Structures are given as structure tokens and as C-alpha cells.
Chains A and B, each alone.
Chain A
């Protein structure tokens, strides 16, 4: 069973994404922000991370930069809701520049999520 690290500060979004992933047969470990995500990532191994961009403390971009030190090859799917002070596409590009494999814009369909996850896993 593939293990997915889900880093997202919104509990309901976490719950929704986790539900869709678990229905599809993935094992999901949750983290409420980038900092918690990094500490979980240091303690365990994952096949994939799904990371929100805008989060308190350590945001998605920062998580991307630092997680490379722990898992150099970890595929990352960015889920973005757009930002309050920066246009979302720029951030999405930044995420790609820092090694994000896929970018999804909320709200996305479960099918879109699973398709992106599967593409990232074979990447």
C-alpha cells in the first residue's frame, strides 16, 4: 500500500482529500502545516506528498525546499487555493521550479486528484 503524506492546514480539506485517497486504497498520514509535515517526513518514508501552498509557519514552498534534504526523490503534488497577495499561477510555477511534480487548483474533483497522484507516482 502506497503511503501518502498530506500536508494541509484546513481540517475539512484534509478530511476530504484523505477520504478520496483512502477510498482509492492509499494510506494517508496527515500533517497540519509544513513544520509538522517536515517532522513527520523525517521520521518515516513516503511514496508521495500532497502539499498545500498557503499554510501558517512553514508554507508549501518552504516545505518543498526542505523536504529534499530528507527525501531527495519524493514526488510532490501541490494543491493550491490561490493566494491572498500573490497570483496563484506564479506560486504554482515557483512550486514547479522547486520540484513539484503536479499542481492542482482547489476545488478539484476526486478523479483529478487521483489522476495527478497516479501520474506523480509513476514519475
Chain B
């Protein structure tokens, strides 16, 4: 309709549009002429519809403005599609315009007229300009690039960009000028990334590039742009920041983090971290040293790791420190791993707070002290047994001196009174009691004995076989004994009576543990120290050992029982059924041989006693043996 209406009607029509509007006609001979403009455009441009109507562009407008408009109108005719562009007009001042051209087609599909809507964007432009000036003053590079049709050129407005890019002068007002000023490889990459973002329909684009800083180094620049689309027109408004300093800091931080991580991985300690609810959070920055991840403890509280089967040790102190947000050092608690392994760990921790003083949780280290603790326990156990042995020795000495007159006087008095006296049975009882007391004291002395004075080399496997035969003969028939005794030819400096006593004590202990209905096994094997882990752990002297193992499938022992099992007078049997000396005698004999006893047991899983017996390297002549014994 607009293609055929007479100018008056067109003018009438476009008055109704709430924006400045003009309609131009495409002259059949080429060129353009005005059909009409509305009052809004009159007000904006200072031109009058009456002066323009029907007049060719060149006659109606100043030359520069006419040329710019004609170029755009021709572009629109060629495209036969709407185009947008930016322009300005100058009358009393400069007005920045954003112009939309819409081709109006006649019945034959040719562009007969073009309707233009030039909108005044001066206010927005002024605001942008003010921002640009502020950016300029602040040393920030900001720019606006209206992408041309070839996607290379197009007006580029900027402040500070040349200085930031290290260019000696501003290349010009077109994107193409700037492209040429930059290294081709850099520009190629950046344009590819930029255009990819445009083609993807992204609203923003971030690029980085590192031009030389002119002093042999590099600067790191960060480019961020907002992509604006208006029809086909694409404009990118962005800023370019020099992030060299930040980049340096990041590099330094990454390096420090790398060093920390390396140290953490070299350390045998674990590191842990909790959040403000005191639950563990992973600590991935340190890789393998991250105890939280290693233990699968993320989301758990400290108490969830506690091994509740044993005393909690310092756990109350740890919890008190955490409740009070206090640092703590080297506090110990038993820890149960996800794989069921029980450890003893020592932990230290510091609370963390943010700048406002809000509690963030704890950070700390954790040391596995299980081995150290076991070693200390072993040492403590040894010292305890040695001290007990000394005490027992002293006690035995005193008691023996008291028992001597009791026994002696009782038997002598018995001789004096003769068989018919009513006192005779009383004196017999005194003597019998004295002898029982003597036997108990002998047991204590065996425990406290550490020498090998009367030991003679015997073929250990034979002594063991005989002793097991003897022991099996006196056991209840319901007990089954499996033997796996290697016929070792080695000799050991032991007394066969001691071997028999060790086996008898261990076997009867095992029978008690199985309630007389179980299955025992007795085994003998040869090991070498170093080489045998158990022997090494006990700190045995290097050499060959025979290991006598007596195991049962009985009730097993609680850790508390296990720790005391070799203590003299320690017994789990009801009063009157056991002296509590059996296993301590075994221990005393084994130590006297220069060996050791290792017990492993858990409740319900039976028990196993392994007696390490040092083997003779080679047969010594008996005279040398005697001398060695004396020198002990």
C-alpha cells in the first residue's frame, strides 16, 4: 500500500507512527527522492516535510549526509531486506541515530520505496561516552566493535586499547586496522574464538592472550565482551584488562600448592579438614595425603571413626577442644578404618575462622602411631615382666628361708612324737602345706629365671614329639590334637623337661579354652630372623629359630586379657581352678632360652601361641658350653 499511495496519504499515515519516519522513493532512473517525513522527524532533524517532498536526496540534504544515506539505501535495495545501521545528523548539535531501513516492494517484487526509521540514540550514546571517558581516566581499555558484513572490518571505538595492546599509536577507527596491527597468529586465533561465540549465539565472550611486554616478558590480557545483536547487525562491547599481576599470583599460588601437595604426599601423616558442622570434608588439594578421602570419612563426624571396642583415650579432650574452638595437639584415640583395621592415631588441629570471625571448621594432621604404640606396649610388657620377675625372685628367696624351718621343724617334730601321737597328723599337714608352698614358689622362680645354665643341646623336634605324645595321653578323649611337626634336625639349648612343661602348659590352657571339646593343633617349623616378620617385630636376635605353635579353636581372648596373659597370677579361671602361673612359666622358660612367646587371639576366634626357640648354630664342645653358661 505504501508503495502506491500518494505522498499526502503517506504523510498522513506515517504521522500515526510514534517514531521519526521518512519514506523515500527509488527512482526508475536511479537515485532516490523523498516521499514524505513525519512530524517527529521534522522535530528531530529540523527539516520540513514540505521542503523535502519529491526532491532528490542530493538536493534535499547536505552532501555528506546525502552520500551516507544513499549508500545505505542502495544497500537496502540490493539486499531487498531490512537493514540497520548507525549514523548521525548535525543541526543545532549532533544527534546519534540508529536507523532501520525497510524496503517496500511493488507488485512486481521490486523495491519501489524504502521506509526509514532514524531513532535518536544520542542520550544513550552520551551515557556510553561518559562511561568510555571514565574508563579512559581509570586506565581501563573498553571498546565497541560493530562487526562489518565481511566480519573483519566495521567501526571500532575504544579508549586505552592501543596502550594496553602495546601499540605505539592508535591504528584507526576500523576493526580491520586493529587486526593488522596485531600479530597475525594471535589475531587469527582471537577472531576464530570471537566469531565462534557469535555464531553459537553466545551473549558473552571471554578471550585471553599474551602479547610481549616489550621487555622480554609477556603480559597477560583478559578480554571480555558482551555480544549484542540487532537484526543482522552484531556489536561487541567489551573491556580488556591487564591481568599480568593476577596471572603471576595465580602462577605463584599454583607453584606453592604444588610444593605443598608434594610435601603432603611425602609425609606419612594424613591431613584432615572439617566444616562448620564438624563433619569431615575432602581435602583434594593435597592428593594422597587427604586422609578424609583415603578413609572415606567425608560427611562423618570424628566420633564416627572411634573404635568403640577399646578405651576412647583422649577422645573426650578432643571433643572438648572442638566444642571450645580451641587448637589441640597430639591427642590420641583408637580409630577404626572402613576396612575394619584398628589403628591408634594421634591428631592435632586448629580451628579456622573467616574474616568476620565465623567458625569454618578445623584443619589438622593425623599420625598413625599404632606401630609405635605396639612397640611401647611390648617394651612396657617386657619391663613389667622383668620387674615382676625380680620381685618374684626376691619374694621367693624370703619365702624359701621361711619355709625351710617350717618344713624342717615339722618333719623333725613328727619324728620326735612318733606315729601314735595325736599331734602326728597335724605335723604331717604342716609339712604337706609347706611342700605345696614350696612348689608354688618354684613356679614363680621358673618365671623369673633368665639364664640358660642347665640347658643342653637337644634335637628339638624329638623333644617336642615326645612332649606332645605325653600331653595327648593325659588329655580328655574329646579333644583332638592335630600335629604338624617338621622333623627338623636342628638342636636347641633347652631342657627337655622345660619343653615338656611349655607344651603341657600351652596344651592344657588350650583345652580349657575349648571347654575340653575342641580341636588343638601343635606345629613346629623353622624360621630365620631377620626374615620372619613376627620374629623381627619382637626384636629377636638374628639367627635360626624353631617356632612351636599351639593353637586352639576355642573362645579366644579379649584384648584386655591378651595384654595380661603372661602376668604371673593372672587367671580367668574361677578361684581355685588355676594358679595363673601356667603361661607366665611358659614365658619365663622361653625367655630363658633366649626366645619369646607371641600370642594372637580375638574373642570367638581361638588363640595361637607361638614360642620362638633359638636353634644352635652348630654343636659346641661341652666344655665351651659350660664356660658360656657360667658367664651368663
Beta-carbon contact of A106 and B401 below 8 Å:
yes
Check: B406 CB closer than 8 A to any chain A CB: yes
Beta-carbon contact of B397 and A82 below 8 Å:
yes
Contacts known (A20-B412, A85-B390, A90-B451); A106 close to B632, Cβ less than 8 A: no
Q: Please report the C-alpha to C-alpha distance between residue A110 and residue B407 in the assembled complex, in whole angstroms.
A: 9
Which stretch of B191-199, B277-285, B442-450 is in the interface? B442-450
Beta-carbon contact of A107 and B415 below 8 Å:
no
Check: B543 CB closer than 8 A to any chain A CB: no
Check: A84 CB closer than 8 A to any chain B CB: yes
Beta-carbon contact of A107 and B438 below 8 Å:
yes
Beta-carbon contact of B393 and A107 below 8 Å:
no
Beta-carbon contact of A12 and B405 below 8 Å:
yes
Check: B630 CB closer than 8 A to any chain A CB: yes
Beta-carbon contact of A16 and B449 below 8 Å:
no
Beta-carbon contact of B407 and A83 below 8 Å:
no
Selected contact of B397 from candidates A84, A92, A97, CB within 8 Å: A84
CB nearest neighbor in B for A19: B412
Beta-carbon contact of B401 and A89 below 8 Å:
no
Check: A94 CB closer than 8 A to any chain B CB: yes
Check: B36 CB closer than 8 A to any chain A CB: no
Q: Which residues of B contact A110 (CB under 8 A)?
A: 408, 411-412
CB nearest neighbor in A for B416: A23
Selected contact of A83 from candidates B397, B412, B454, CB within 8 Å: B397
Q: Which residues of B contact A87 (CB under 8 A)?
A: 393, 445, 448-451, 453
Q: Please report the C-alpha to C-alpha distance between residue A15 and residue B412 in the assembled complex, in whole angstroms.
A: 12
| 8 A Cβ contacts from B421-455 to A | 434, 438, 445, 448-451, 453-454
| 8 A Cβ contacts from B356-412 to A | 390, 393-394, 396-398, 400-409, 411-412
CB nearest neighbor in A for B392: A82
Selected contact of A84 from candidates B394, B406, B415, CB within 8 Å: B394
Beta-carbon contact of A89 and B449 below 8 Å:
yes
Check: B67 CB closer than 8 A to any chain A CB: no
| 8 A Cβ contacts from B101-144 to A | none
Chain B: minimal CB distance from A64 (Å): 14
SS of A interface (majority) = helix
Interface string of A74-100 (1 = CB under 8 A from B): 000000011111011110111001000
Q: Which residues of B contact A108 (CB under 8 A)?
A: 404, 407
Beta-carbon contact of A83 and B400 below 8 Å:
no
Q: Please report the C-alpha to C-alpha distance between residue A12 and residue B409 in the assembled complex, in whole angstroms.
A: 10
Beta-carbon contact of B407 and A107 below 8 Å:
yes
CB nearest neighbor in A for B437: A107
Beta-carbon contact of B408 and A89 below 8 Å:
no
CB-based A-B contact count at 8 angstroms: 89
Q: Please report the C-alpha to C-alpha distance between residue A106 and residue B402 in the assembled complex, in whole angstroms.
A: 9
Chain B: minimal CB distance from A104 (Å): 10
Beta-carbon contact of A13 and B401 below 8 Å:
yes
Beta-carbon contact of A106 and B400 below 8 Å:
yes
Chain B: minimal CB distance from A102 (Å): 16
Beta-carbon contact of B390 and A16 below 8 Å:
no
Check: A10 CB closer than 8 A to any chain B CB: yes
Selected contact of A13 from candidates B405, B411, B438, B453, CB within 8 Å: B405
Check: A73 CB closer than 8 A to any chain B CB: no
Beta-carbon contact of B408 and A81 below 8 Å:
no
Beta-carbon contact of B406 and A107 below 8 Å:
yes
Check: B605 CB closer than 8 A to any chain A CB: no
Selected contact of A10 from candidates B390, B401, B406, B434, CB within 8 Å: B401
CB nearest neighbor in A for B442: A105
Chain B: minimal CB distance from A55 (Å): 11
Contacts known (A90-B632, A94-B630, A97-B630); A82 close to B409, Cβ less than 8 A: no
Chain B: minimal CB distance from A86 (Å): 8
Check: B12 CB closer than 8 A to any chain A CB: no
CB nearest neighbor in B for A12: B405
Check: B629 CB closer than 8 A to any chain A CB: yes
Beta-carbon contact of A90 and B453 below 8 Å:
yes
Q: Which residues of A contact B451 (CB under 8 A)?
A: 87, 89-90
Chain B: minimal CB distance from A80 (Å): 8
Selected contact of B393 from candidates A85, A92, A106, CB within 8 Å: A85
Beta-carbon contact of B412 and A23 below 8 Å:
yes
Check: A63 CB closer than 8 A to any chain B CB: no
Beta-carbon contact of B404 and A109 below 8 Å:
no
CB nearest neighbor in B for A52: B401
Q: Please report the C-alpha to C-alpha distance between residue A83 and residue B445 in the assembled complex, in whole angstroms.
A: 10
Check: A7 CB closer than 8 A to any chain B CB: no
Beta-carbon contact of B397 and A54 below 8 Å:
yes
Q: Which residues of B contact A82 (CB under 8 A)?
A: 393, 396-397, 400, 445
Check: A17 CB closer than 8 A to any chain B CB: yes
Q: Which residues of A contact B434 (CB under 8 A)?
A: 107
Beta-carbon contact of A109 and B411 below 8 Å:
yes
Q: Please report the C-alpha to C-alpha distance between residue A39 and residue B412 in the assembled complex, in whole angstroms.
A: 31
Contacts known (A16-B404, A82-B400, A106-B404); A93 close to B629, Cβ less than 8 A: yes
Among B394, B403, B404, B632, find the residue whose CB has the most chain A CB atoms closer than 10 A: B404
Contacts known (A84-B393, A93-B630); A107 close to B403, Cβ less than 8 A: yes
Q: Which residues of B contact A12 (CB under 8 A)?
A: 401-402, 404-405
Chain B: minimal CB distance from A35 (Å): 19
Beta-carbon contact of A16 and B397 below 8 Å:
no
Given contacts A107-B434, A110-B411, 12 further A-B contacts (CB under 8 A): A13-B401, A13-B405, A16-B405, A16-B408, A19-B409, A81-B398, A85-B393, A97-B630, A105-B400, A106-B403, A107-B406, A108-B407
Closest 3 CB pairs of A and B: A16-B408, A84-B394, A81-B400
Pick 24 A–B contacts, CB within 8 A, sort by A.
Answer: A12-B404, A12-B405, A13-B401, A13-B405, A16-B409, A17-B404, A19-B412, A20-B408, A20-B412, A23-B412, A81-B398, A84-B393, A85-B394, A87-B449, A87-B453, A88-B393, A89-B451, A90-B453, A92-B453, A107-B404, A107-B438, A109-B411, A110-B411, A110-B412
